[in-house]
Each structure stands twice: as structure tokens, then as C-alpha cells.
Structure 1
Amino acid sequence: MFSTGQWMFALFFVIAFVGIMIYSYRKDISLHKKYYKGSFWVLIGFLFFIGLLVVAKYFLKN
């Protein structure tokens, strides 16, 4: 399905992409702490809402 060269490129791309993402996050970690304080609670609220939708769908289906 894929040639050896395509697999090598995909592997290199994934490793490089993850490496650059880690480097960028480490570089901006002080800004994240300053400007995105409390965003964890937004994530928790979003996941809770999705959970409520799943539970409602389950109970309304039966």
C-alpha cells in the first residue's frame, strides 16, 4: 500500500512535528500560565456537558 520511502517520510514528519510542538510549548509556558489561567475548568465543564448529552441520549433512547 505504501512504499518504504513514504513510511520513512511519515515517521520523520511525525517525529519532527511532535518535537516542534514540544519546543513551542516549552518556550511559551510562562505565557500560558499568565493568559490561560482557569482554562482547565472550561475543559472540565465542556466534558461534563458532553457527558450529560451522552447520558440523556442513552435514557431517551430506551
Structure 2
Amino acid sequence: MFSKDQLIFAVLFFIVFVIGIAFAYRKDTGLHKIFYKGSYKILLGFIAFIGILFLIKIFFKR
């Protein structure tokens, strides 16, 4: 399916990508605290909305 070299490239790319993302996130944590203060409320709202849709689906299925 994949050659040995392709798998090595994929693993190395994934490792470097994760390290790069972690470095960029650490660098921007100060900005995240300033500009994204109440973002957890939006996440909770989305989770509640999906939960309500799931409950409506169960309720009308019976």
C-alpha cells in the first residue's frame, strides 16, 4: 500500500507538524487570553444545541 519511505516521511512530517503547532500555540497564549475570553461559553452552547437536537430525534422517533 505505502512504501517504507512514504511511511517514514509521514511519521516525520506528523512529528514536526505537531511540534510546530505546539510552539505556535505557546507563543500566542497571551493573545488568546486577551481576544478569546468567553469562547468556552460558545463551546458549551454548541454542545447544548447538539444535545437538544439529539433529544428531539429520540423523542420523535418513539
TM-score (ref. length: structure 2): 0.93
Aligned to 2:23: 23
Runs of 4+ in 1 over 2 A off after TM superposition: none
Task: Structure 2: give runs of 5+ residues left out of the alignment.
Answer: none
Aligned to 1:40: 40
Note the aligned Cα RMSD (angstroms): 0.8
Letter of the 1:58 partner, please give it. I
After superposition, give the CA deviation of every residue in 1:4-60 in whole Å (9 maximum; x if it has no partner): 111111101111111111000000000000000010110011111011111111111
Letter of the 1:41 partner, please give it. K
Task: Structure 1: give runs of 5+ residues left out of the alignment.
Answer: none
Alignment partners' CA distance in 1, 2:10 and 2:58: 40
Alignment partners' CA distance in 1, 2:7 and 2:58: 41
